[in-house]
Amino acid sequence: MIEEIATMEKVDFDRIVDIAKRRGIIYQSSEIYGGISGFFDYGPVGFLLKEKLVSSWREFFLRPEENVFEVETCTIMPEQVFKASGHLKDFIDPSTQCRKCNSIFRADNLVEDATGQFVEGADASELSKMISDKQIRCPKCGGELGDVKVFHLMLGTNVGPVEGNIAYLRPETAQGIFVNFRNILVSTRAKLPFGVAQVGTSYRNEISPRQWLMRLREFRQMEIEMFIDPRKIDYCPNFERFSNVKLRILSREAQKMNGEPAEFTAEEAAKIMPKYQAYFMAKELLWYSSLGVPEEAIRFRHMLPKETPHYSKGNFDMEIKYDFGWKEVVGNAYRTDFDLKTHMESSGKDLTFAEDGEKVLPHVIEPSFGIDRTVYAVLLYCYRDDGRGWEWFAFPPGIAPYLCAVLPLVSKDGIPEKAREIYSMLRHEFDALFDQSGSIGRRYARCDEIGVPFCITIDYRTLEDDTVTIRNRDDCSQVRAGKKDLVVTLRKLMAGQIPFSAAGDRVV
C-alpha cells in the first residue's frame, strides 16, 4: 500500500472525472450554459454515494454518543452574525491580477505551484516579494503579475425589497449552532459535555476554484460543535475506547525542518491538546480507513500560527494524500469560548451555562468534515484499473451507491418476470439496480463502473429451484444461493459479518 501511495501522482485522474460524469456521479453545474467554476452537481449515482457517506458518518460519530444532538439551520444569516464571528474582518485570501490579460489568481497557490514551498498564511507583502523575487508569471499568458491584495471570501445578498438589509451566505455551518446555543440548551436540557451536529451547505467566494471537488464556491460540510467545561478540559467519557489508536502527527517543528510526521497514540496526543480533540482525531482515522482510504495516506498537521483561523487556539487538520499532494479534509479546531463570547457581547444575550451553581461559558472542540473532499478521496482510493477490460470502483459495501444489481440472463421464457419479482423484494431492503439490456458481461462492466458490490443473475435454474448466482465485484468469483436467504445474506455481506465464500455454494 505504501508503494501505491508513493505512485498516486501517476494516477490519470482525468479518467476518474470522465467516469464520474458519464456514469452519473458528478456533473459540472449548469454545464449547458458553460457552467461556473467551483460549482458541481451530484448525479443519481453520486447523490446515493454522498448520502451513504453522510449516513455512515452519522452512525459512526453521532449514534454512539448519548449527548450529541443534530440540527439544521439557515444558510443565509444577517450581517451582524458575521461581524460578531469575525468573518467579515478575517475571512480573506490573497489575490493577484495579471497586468496583461487581467486574469485574477490566488497568490499563495501560484507561489506554491511555482516553488513547491508551502506559504498558506503568508501576508500580502510577503507574497508580493516572493512573486517578484522568483519572477512568477501569469500561468495563462505569461504576463507580469500585480501586487498582492486582500480578497474577501464572503458571498453577500440583500434581503427583502429595501436596500441595505445585508445578509451573507454562511461560510461554515457552525455559526447557526452558536447563535442557537440558548434555544438548544433549553429544549434539550443538556449537561456538559454535549455536542451539536449539523450537515449542510456552505459558501465561499473562492478566487480561483480548482482541483475538481477540492476548491469549491458551494460545498457540503458535516460538523460537530462539542461544548465542554473549560475547568474539566481533559474529561471525555468514551476516550478509553480509542486511546490506543495511532495517529501520524506532523508538528509545527517538523514542518519548519521539512520533516516527517511522528506517531502518537491518542493517549499521548491528548497531552498536547484537549482530550476531545484527540478523541475525534482517532475516530476520524478509523472512519476514513473504513471508507477505503489507507492509513498511510492520512496524517494530522498542526497548522502554523499564521494560517490558523482567527477563532481557533489550535488546529490539527486531518489531511489526505491526493493525486496532487496533501490536502485538508477535516479541520479539528479548538475554538475555546471565542464564538459564544463574541455573540454574547454583540447580541447582549446571556449564553453562559449554569454548572455546579456557577456560570460557565463553554469551550468548543470542532471537527469539521468536507463532504465533497471526502467523495474525492473515496473515488481516488477506490478506483481500479487492473486489466479487467474496464475501470471500476471498489467502494466498501456500506457506502456503495447500490448494494446489488438484479440481472436476468435472457429477456424471454419468464426469466425477466422472475427477476422483477426478486428485484422488488430486494429494493424494499437495499438500494438495488435492475438491468436487462445487453450481454451479461457488458452489464457486469456497467455495474463495476459504479461500484456495485454484488450482481445477482436470474437464469433457467432459478425457475427450477429458486436459487440465484451472486457475483462478487472485487474478484469476480460467484456463488449459488437460495432466494429465500438472499436478503439476510446480503445484509451480512454489507456489514462484513461473513466472507463472500460463505454466501453460498461456489460456482466453478
Helices (H), 327-468: 338-347, 371-382, 415-427, 440-449, 460-465
Please determine, for residue 328, whether its predicted confidence score (pLDDT) is greater than 60. yes
Mean pLDDT of 21-39: 95
Please determine, for residue 3, whether its predicted confidence score (pLDDT) is greater than 50. no
Confidence of residue 103 (pLDDT cuts 50, 70, 90): confident
Final residue belonging to a domain, choices 348, 381, 414: 381
Is residue 162 packed enough to be buried (19+ CB in 10 Å), middle (13-18) or exposed (0-12)?
exposed
Is residue 157 packed enough to be buried (19+ CB in 10 Å), middle (13-18) or exposed (0-12)?
exposed
Residues 6+ apart with CB under 8 A from 49: 25, 42, 375, 378, 395, 399, 400, 401, 451
What percent of the chain stands above pLDDT 90?
Answer: 80
**Together in a domain, 364 and 400:** no
Q: How much is the pTM? A: 0.91
Instruction: Identify the residue whose cell numbers are 432466494.
Output: 483
**Together in a domain, 286 and 368:** yes
* Residues 205 and 217 sit within 8 Å (Cβ to Cβ): yes
Final residue belonging to a domain, choices 152, 178, 203: 152
pLDDT value at position 106?
A: 86
Domain that holds residue 97: 92-152
Cα 279 from chain centre: 19
**Together in a domain, 419 and 480:** yes
Nearest CA to 439 among 417, 457, 420, 419?
Answer: 457
Please determine, for residue 7, whether its predicted confidence score (pLDDT) is greater than 60. no
Confidence of residue 162 (pLDDT cuts 50, 70, 90): confident
Confidence of residue 1 (pLDDT cuts 50, 70, 90): very low
Beta-strand ranges (E) seen in 33-120 are 40-42, 68-71, 76-78, 92-97, 104-106
**Together in a domain, 191 and 284:** yes
Q: Is residue 118 part of a domain?
A: yes
Lowest-confidence pick of 138-142, 235-239, 377-381, 442-446: 138-142
User: Which CATH number covers residue 476?
Assistant: 3.40.50.800
Domains: count for the chain? 3
**What tens digit of pLDDT does each residue of 265-302 get?**
999 999 999 999 999 999 999 999 999 999 999 999 99
Q: How many alpha carbons fall within 13 Å on the CB side of residue 74? A: 9
CA 391, CA 400: separation in Å to the nearest integer? 16
User: Which CATH number covers residue 131?
Assistant: 3.30.40.230
pLDDT value at position 10?
A: 60
Q: Which residue has the higher pLDDT, 37 or 5?
A: 37
Q: Is residue 8 part of a domain?
A: no
**What tens digit of pLDDT does each residue of 165-214 get?**
999 999 999 999 999 999 999 999 999 999 999 999 999 998 888 889 99
Q: Is 124 helix (H, G, I), strand (E, B) or coil?
A: helix
Q: Is residue 209 part of a domain?
A: yes
**What tens digit of pLDDT does each residue of 361-387 get?**
999 999 999 999 999 999 999 999 988
Mean pLDDT of 347-363: 91
Mean pLDDT of 306-327: 92
Q: What is the chain's mean pLDDT, rounded?
A: 93
Please determine, for residue 5, whether its predicted confidence score (pLDDT) is greater than 60. no
CA 403, CA 49: separation in Å to the nearest integer? 11
Please determine, for residue 137, whether its predicted confidence score (pLDDT) is greater than 80. yes
Please determine, for residue 316, whether its predicted confidence score (pLDDT) is greater than 80. yes
Confidence of residue 150 (pLDDT cuts 50, 70, 90): confident
Q: Is residue 15 part of a domain?
A: no
